[in-house]
Amino acid sequence: MHNKTIAELAAGLRAGEFTSEELTRAFIERIKAHDDRLNSYITVTEEQALAQAREADQRIAAGTAGPLTGVPLAHKDIFCTDGVRTSCASKMLDPFIAPYDATVVRKFREAGAVMLGKTNMDEFAMGSSNETSFYGPVKNPWDLGAVPGGSSGGSAAAVAARLAPGATGTDTGGSIRQPAALCGITGLKPTYGRVSRYGMIAFASSLDQAGPMARTAEDCALMLGAMAGFDERDSTCAEQLVDDYICGLNNDLKGLRIGLPKEYFGEGLDAEVAGAVEAAVDEYKKLGAEVVEISLPNTNLAVPTYYVVAPAECSSNLSRMDGVRFGYRCEEPKDLEDLYKRSRGEGFGPEVKRRIMVGAYALSSGYYDAYYLKAQKLRHLISDDFKKAFEQVDVIMGPTAPTPAFNLGEKKDDPVAMYLADIYTIAVNLAGLPGISVPCGFVGKRPVGLQIIGNYFDEARLLNVAHKYQQATDWHLRTPEGF
Amino acid sequence: MALDKSDVQSIAYLARMAISEEDVPAYAENLTSILTLVEQMSAVDTSGVEPMAHPLEMAQRLREDVVTEENRRDHFQQYAPAVENGLFLVPRVIE
């Protein structure tokens, strides 16, 4: 059962081949049997999952089921889940039980999906390797000596090892697409504002976006259909109708205009990754697409710009972690200032502290114009590059990450080297565009991802373009040995 | 832009975050390398470019100023570190 996609599981449930309770038990058993090697879950919610599964079985029997009713899924531990620990992989929130559901969680619950548990991640989603988690690193199921990517590394590893058929993720600078690439699964970062951020613990509010992670584009389409839509509780959520992401999946790609940015194939790109991506582009040519070289001239500014905007917003967002109203509080504070300083000093890990300090510095008196304002201007230039490109092409393609998964520990003590792992994904967040990563090959044992970037609210096309490739290739069906 | 130990301490103070003395040199080094990366921004002329505050250039949505949330204080406070009679407890502020 665990090898089936979400679409196949949904069909099996509907046809009565198995019940949601049987399916849920099977995944819980797999998590118990295999996750000690991966550490992809922080919390497994076995009892609630089985109760939800039994309810789903009743809905299926009563004929009131939707497409996801009875399908087990996992949520990144950044989404608030009523009555369940929501840690954001931080010591700061280790004691935090969320008092309400995030909109994404509520929507999946109402659709009848079963929550298996909460997945591991980089602390407060700050990281590209899942090594900053308070609960320890996640391992890559393809190679246990490699990182799974981050920050949604637990979700990516769990889906790749088939410890969940699908999982939610969030993407602020590549945190869905990069781990999807490194773990050989499909992950979609929607347009900014497509999915509600309510109840999703904020990192950088002008960049954060939730999206689906699954084995196929079709499964991502099913999940996005349930997640997307306007929400009054998120003031930046787009008042835009949700497309039917399923009906266009098989649209013909004849005449599709693909742009290849020359800046995405230059220095720093691993030769074998480049080869896999070029082979994928050739496959698209066979499907009738036209390929043109384009330029995104400000590409090299994306990482520096991001490392002002994201830390500035995080230093502001994380000021709510003060040891007073929820979360970790230090022992025996001698006064209020000591309470703030030690609760935060002891509760946050080193990478979170670095980013808070960079942000506090960039926003401090005398530096605001040189850093934050400058970065917001550059953001405009980066965004304009994409606008111009989309006058010429329908989608943009390139590698998701410059290298396959790196070794655990390899970049842990070098933040700048780590930041450059997101060089091809970050600009998409700065511009607010949607992007998807699709498995397109391997370097040795380690998977490679093809990134496809679309115009605003063009998720249906991205899913169509990804799905057609998956109909013609089988990279997404490969499974890691031992799982 | 190289940061020294006292810079790190003053930034940590701005963020109300205790940093142990022995960790200060490593933070100084890491923050300096991050700021060096960020310095690349200054090479670009941005005169006449508008700052981008929102990816979709959307305006903030407004709503009627009416109460929409119910009072759930007890529910929210059950997970707080220290509460008494509906109040959050902190060390004495006024002697």
CB A214 within 8 A of CB A165: yes
Q: CB-based contact (8 Å) between A364 and chain B?
A: yes
- Determine the Cα–Cα distance for residues B90 and A37; give it in Å rounded to an integer: 42
CATH number of A6-249+396-477, picked from 3.40.470.10, 3.10.20.30, 3.90.1300.10, 3.40.50.720:
3.90.1300.10
CB A49 within 8 A of CB A28: yes
Q: What are the C-alpha distances in Å from A457 to residues A245, A296, B15?
A: 11, 20, 37
Nearest-CA distance B95 → chain A (Å): 11
Nearest to A340 among B16, B40, B88 (CB): B16
Query: Which listed residue (A128, A152, A175, A196) is catalytic?
Result: A175
Nearest-CA distance A151 → chain B (Å): 19
Tokens (6 digits) for B53:
């505050």
pLDDT digits (tens, 9 = 90+) for A71-128: 999 999 999 999 999 999 999 999 999 999 999 999 999 999 999 999 999 999 999 9
Which residues from B are below 8 Å from A336, CB to CB? 90-91, 93
Say if residue B56's pLDDT is above 90: no
Confidence of residue A413 (pLDDT cuts 50, 70, 90): confident
Q: Which residue of chain B is at minimal alpha-carbon distance from A418?
A: B34
**What is the pLDDT, as a whole number, of residue A109?**
98
Q: CB-based contact (8 Å) between B67 and chain A?
A: no
Q: CB-based contact (8 Å) between B62 and chain A?
A: no
Cβ separation B88–A303 shorter than 8 A:
no
Mean pLDDT of all residues in A27-34: 98
CB B14 within 8 A of CB B7: no
Q: Which is nearest to A483 in space by CA: A78, A156, A68, A3?
A: A3
Which 34-53 residues of chain A touch chain B by CB within 8 A? none
Matching residue, tokens 């960039």: A362
Tokens (6 digits) for A455:
């115009």
Beta pairing class for A257-261 and A290-294: parallel
Cβ separation B41–A378 shorter than 8 A:
yes
Mean pLDDT of all residues in A160-167: 98
Query: Which listed residue (A76, A107, A189, A412) is catalytic?
Result: A76
**What is the pLDDT, as a whole number, of residue B59?**
78
A76 among known catalytic residues: yes
- Determine the Cα–Cα distance for residues A6 and A469; give it in Å rounded to an integer: 18
Nearest-CA distance A195 → chain B (Å): 14
CB A425 within 8 A of CB A435: yes
Which 21-60 residues of chain B touch chain A by CB within 8 A? 23, 27, 30-31, 33-42, 44, 46, 49-56, 58, 60
**Residue-wise DSSP of A268-330:** T--HHHHHHHHHHHHHHHHTT-EEEEE--TTGGGHHHHHHHHHHHHHHHHGGG--SSSSS---
ipTM of predicted complex:
0.95
Whether cis (ω within 30° of 0) applies to the bond prior to A151 is yes
- Determine the Cα–Cα distance for residues A124 and A311; give it in Å rounded to an integer: 12
Q: Which residue of chain B is at minimal alpha-carbon distance from A420?
A: B37
Q: What are the C-alpha distances in Å from A194 to residues A179, A210, A242, B16?
A: 21, 9, 8, 34
Which residues from A are below 8 Å from B41, CB to CB? 301, 304-305, 308, 371, 374-375, 378
pLDDT digits (tens, 9 = 90+) for A176-187: 999 999 999 999
Mean pLDDT of all residues in A369-388: 96
Q: CB-based contact (8 Å) between A476 and chain B?
A: no
Beta pairing class for A41-44 and A114-119: antiparallel
Query: Which listed residue (A151, A152, A196, A437) is catalytic?
Result: A151
Which residues from B are below 8 Å from A453, CB to CB? none
Say if residue B66's pLDDT is above 80: yes
Mean pLDDT of all residues in A203-214: 97
- Determine the Cα–Cα distance for residues A4 and A12; give it in Å rounded to an integer: 9
Cβ separation A338–B91 shorter than 8 A:
yes
pLDDT digits (tens, 9 = 90+) for A248-297: 999 999 999 999 999 999 989 999 999 999 999 999 999 999 999 999 99
Q: CB-based contact (8 Å) between A386 and chain B?
A: no
CB B26 within 8 A of CB A292: no
Which residues from A are below 8 Å from B50, CB to CB? 377, 380
3-class secondary-structure state, position B76: helix
Q: Which residue of chain B is at minimal alpha-carbon distance from A306?
A: B38
Matching residue, tokens 């100023």: B65
Q: Between chain A and chain B, how many beta carbons pairs sit less than 8 Å apart?
A: 167
Tokens (6 digits) for A211:
């999206």
Mean pLDDT of all residues in A149-174: 98
H, E, C per residue of A376-414: HHHHHHHHHHHHHHHHHCCEEEEECCCCCCCECCCCCCC
**What is the pLDDT, as a whole number, of residue B2?**
85
Cβ separation B54–A342 shorter than 8 A:
no
- The DSSP call for residue A57 is H
Q: CB-based contact (8 Å) between A357 and chain B?
A: yes
Confidence of residue A10 (pLDDT cuts 50, 70, 90): very high
H, E, C per residue of A324-360: CCCCCCCCCCCCHHHHHHHHHHHHCCHHHHHHHHHHH
- Determine the Cα–Cα distance for residues A377 and A364; give it in Å rounded to an integer: 18
Which residues from A are below 8 Å from B22, CB to CB? none
Q: Which residue of chain B is at minimal alpha-carbon distance from A383?
A: B55
Confidence of residue B68 (pLDDT cuts 50, 70, 90): confident
Domain boundaries, chain A: 6-249+396-477, 300-378
**What is the pLDDT, as a whole number, of residue A147?**
98
Q: What is the largest CA-CA distance in chain B?
A: 57
**What is the pLDDT, as a whole number, of residue B58?**
76
A175 among known catalytic residues: yes
Entry pTM: 0.97
Say if residue A402's pLDDT is above 80: yes
Say if residue A26's pLDDT is above 80: yes
Q: CB-based contact (8 Å) between A353 and chain B?
A: yes
3-class secondary-structure state, position A190: coil
**What is the pLDDT, as a whole number, of residue A242?**
96
Those residues with Cβ within 8 angstroms of residue A280's Cβ, 6 or more apart along the chain or in another chain? A397, A438, A440, A441, A450, A469, A473
CB A375 within 8 A of CB A254: no
**What is the pLDDT, as a whole number, of residue B53?**
79
Nearest-CA distance B45 → chain A (Å): 9
Q: CB-based contact (8 Å) between A189 and chain B?
A: no
Cβ separation A431–B11 shorter than 8 A:
no
Cβ separation A380–B54 shorter than 8 A:
no
**What is the pLDDT, as a whole number, of residue B69?**
86
Strand-pairing partners, residue A118, are A43, A75
Within 13 A of B56's CA, how many CA atoms are on the CB side? Answer: 19
Q: Which residue of chain B is at minimal alpha-carbon distance from A331?
A: B81
- Long-range contact set of residues B68-76: C-beta below 8 Å, sequence gap at least 24: B72/A99, B75/A99, B76/A99, B76/A325
A151 among known catalytic residues: yes
Nearest-CA distance A479 → chain B (Å): 37
Cβ separation A304–B41 shorter than 8 A:
yes
